[in-house]
Amino acid sequence: MGTLEGHLLPGIGFLIYSVYYSVLTSLALLRGEKALQHPLLPRKLRGHRLFQQVSYEAMMKVVVPTFGIIGEYFYPLGVNRLQMIDWTDPRRPFIFKDNWQHVTMFGFFILSGVVDMVSQSHLPRWGVKLERAAEALAFYVLVLLMATHIENKNSLEIRVHLLLMLPSFLFAVVLTVEVWIPNNPSIWLLKSWLGLVLSNWMMQLCEMYVPPTGQPWRADNPTDLAFLTIFFCWHLALAAGVVIAIYGLCRLWHCYYSSWTKTPGAKYQRCPMESSEELEKLKAEALAQDGGV
Weakest mean pLDDT among 77-91, 175-189, 269-283: 269-283
Weakest mean pLDDT among 125-134, 213-222, 234-243, 252-261: 252-261
Query: For position 267, what pLDDT does the model report?
Result: 45
Query: For position 268, what pLDDT does the model report?
Result: 41
265: confidence class by pLDDT, cuts 50, 70, 90: very low
Q: How far apart are CA 24 and CA 61, in angstroms?
A: 17
Calculate the average pLDDT of the chain: 83
The three-point CA angle 238-228-205 to 5° equals: 75
pLDDT mean over 105-116: 93
Residue 91 has pLDDT above 80, yes or no: yes
36: confidence class by pLDDT, cuts 50, 70, 90: confident
Q: What are phi and psi of 40, to 5 degrees?
A: -95, 155
Query: For position 240, what pLDDT does the model report?
Result: 96
Per the confidence metrics, is the pTM higher than 0.85?
no
Under 8 Å between Cβ of 115 and 134: yes
